[in-house]
Structure 1
């Protein structure tokens, strides 16, 4: 059987701030959004909070309207902000209980060429079990499977499952499997908590139990750990390490319960030697398929962007018994932008510019004799 994982970077719609030409363009917007959302969630707004909110409202283009170029403020009931005719912004609420609503990122459709190139990658992977990272929701994933894959002569998967996670931007993790690999038990960890009461996972770490045609059982833990993108380096590192510790604990519980075929995979947003990932990579007995003698890295050690060593952030980690069943494994970059002068790898003819790329991430795959 072939097991694969792929960060598709959304299928149909994506936050506009995440859909700009470069990450550096979107980063300040996402940082301001995260900071303002945090302030708005406080029980009590201090004078300093209000002053900072005004700065962030202006930074996000909300000084004249609740609809900015990248963000929407939805106010269903109660008062939060006033915009006098003379200009300026006033925060009128004393705390979160004074108003009902939300701060949301605005979406825009994905480039049509990018959608089809994503389908081409999935078609060419020919996976029996595919973990998908950054899918909007189950209806979007199912629609992509039923409507877009056939357009590029791909075979739709028989089973499609996604459990909504904690990320309000619509970047969840899901699973697609073939007819001979039904999904049985599913367990979400969306509500796992840290000691301070905060949720552990930025998205989720769902457990999927999959039956194989030979009567074996494969357990897949899908992950998309905390990004380095915004929120502060120290804070994001600490959050990512806490997530890695929790994933490691879930895996150890599975191993203790007698589950021998376990795969932990997804976008871990860090390199193998990083401190945040050590509880998972060095402390469990799980082994990265990159370490297998059969692994073909296609000439580059990374999985993201230009695929340098500093961009090795996607993983398939296997339990000892499963690692012993590896027959072949590699990386698929054909849907990625190959750079220019020189091009780093062959890409689909339809990838004519960076916005046409299926994703900034490579897909990983492994053939297992189970």
Structure 2
């Protein structure tokens, strides 16, 4: 069987702030959005909080309207704010109970060439079990599977599953499988809590119990750890370490219960030697498929961007029983922008500029005889 992992970076729609020419352009918007959302969720609004809310609303383009270039403030009931004719914003509410509504990121359609190149990767990797990272939702992934894949000559996957996660931007993790690899039991960890009471996972760490043609059960744990994109490095590192520690605990619990076929895969947003991933990489008997003699990295050590060593952030980690059954594996970069001076790898003919890329991530795959 072939197992693969692919960060699709959304399929049909993506937050406008995440669809700019570079991550650095969108980062201030996402940071302001996160900060304002946190303040709006407070039980009581202090004068200092109200001052900061106004500052962030202006930064997000909400001074004159509830619709900014990148966000929408939805006010269903209650009085959150008023906009005096003289200009500015005045926060009227004294806490979250005083108004009903939400702050949301605005979406825009993904580039059509990008969409089709994402589908080409999903087809050409030829996985029996494919972990999908950054899908908007199950209905979206199902629609993409049922319409876009066949439209460009591919065959739709038989099962499509996404469990809604914690990310307000609508980027979740899921699994798609071929007909003879059947998803059965599913267990979400979306509400697992850290000692400080915060939810551990940025998205989720779902367990998918897949029945193989042999009758054996494979447990697939799909992950998308906290990015380095916004927030302080110390906070982001601590979050990823907490996630790594929790995945380690879940994995060891599964092994203790007698499960020998377990794979942890996805976008872990850090390198193998990093301190945040140490509990998972060095603290368990999971083996990174990149270290197998039969694995071909295609001449580059990374999986993201230009695929340098510092961009090795996508993983397939295998339990010992799976690792010993590995035949071959590799990195599929044909849907990625190859750079221009010089081009680092061959890509699809339809990929003529960075925005046409199916993703900034490569797909990682492995063939296992189980």
Corresponding position of 1:165: 165
Shift of 1:59: 0.6
User: Per-residue displacement from partner, 1:232-255 (whole Å, max 9, x unpaired)?
Assistant: 111111111111100000000000
2:144 is the counterpart of 1:144: yes
User: Per-residue displacement from partner, 1:77-119 (whole Å, max 9, x unpaired)?
Assistant: 1111110001111111111111111110000000111110001
Which deviates the most, 278-287 or 191-200? 191-200
Q: Secondary structure at the match of 2:65?
A: coil
Structure 1 CA distance, aligned partners of 2:235 and 2:44? 23
Corresponding position of 2:270: 270
Corresponding position of 2:339: 339
Structure 1 CA distance, aligned partners of 2:328 and 2:300? 17
Structure 2 CA distance, aligned partners of 1:241 and 1:44? 31
Structure 1 CA distance, aligned partners of 2:275 and 2:82? 45
2:41 is the counterpart of 1:41: yes
2:130 is the counterpart of 1:126: no
Q: 1:108-257 counterparts in 2 under 5 A?
A: 108-257=108-257
User: Per-residue displacement from partner, 1:56-92 (whole Å, max 9, x unpaired)?
Assistant: 1111000000000000001111111110001111111
Corresponding position of 1:85: 85
Corresponding position of 1:358: 358
Structure 2 CA distance, aligned partners of 1:183 and 1:221? 12
Shift of 1:166: 0.6
User: Per-residue displacement from partner, 1:9-61 (whole Å, max 9, x unpaired)?
Assistant: 00000000000111011001001111111111111111111111111111100
**Residue pair 1:34, 1:231 contacting (<8 A) in 2 also:** no
Q: Secondary structure at the match of 2:223?
A: strand
Corresponding position of 2:4: 4
Q: Which runs of 4+ in 1 moved over 6 A?
A: none
Structure 2 CA distance, aligned partners of 1:234 and 1:253? 29
Corresponding position of 1:302: 302
Shift of 1:307: 0.5
Q: Secondary structure at the match of 2:365?
A: strand
Q: Secondary structure at the match of 2:58?
A: helix
Structure 1 residues without counterparts, runs of 5 or longer: none
Q: Secondary structure at the match of 1:134?
A: strand
Corresponding position of 2:51: 51
Corresponding position of 2:282: 282
Structure 2 CA distance, aligned partners of 1:15 and 1:258? 42
Shift of 1:302: 0.4
> How many residues matched?
370
Q: Secondary structure at the match of 2:304?
A: coil
Structure 1 CA distance, aligned partners of 2:2 and 2:46? 55
Shift of 1:155: 1.1
**Residue pair 1:184, 1:210 contacting (<8 A) in 2 also:** yes
Corresponding position of 2:311: 311
User: Per-residue displacement from partner, 1:224-282 (whole Å, max 9, x unpaired)?
Assistant: 01111112111111111111100000000000011101000000011111111011111
Q: Secondary structure at the match of 1:29?
A: helix
TM-score, scaled relative to structure 2: 0.99
**Residue pair 1:43, 1:97 contacting (<8 A) in 2 also:** yes
RMSD: 0.7
Q: Secondary structure at the match of 2:208?
A: strand
Corresponding position of 1:326: 326
**Residue pair 1:137, 1:164 contacting (<8 A) in 2 also:** yes
Structure 2 residues without counterparts, runs of 5 or longer: none
Shift of 1:294: 1.0
Structure 2 CA distance, aligned partners of 1:339 and 1:122? 22
User: Per-residue displacement from partner, 1:111-139 (whole Å, max 9, x unpaired)?
Assistant: 11111000100110000000000000001
Structure 1 CA distance, aligned partners of 2:196 and 2:150? 47
Structure 2 CA distance, aligned partners of 1:177 and 1:159? 5
Structure 1 CA distance, aligned partners of 2:37 and 2:271? 29
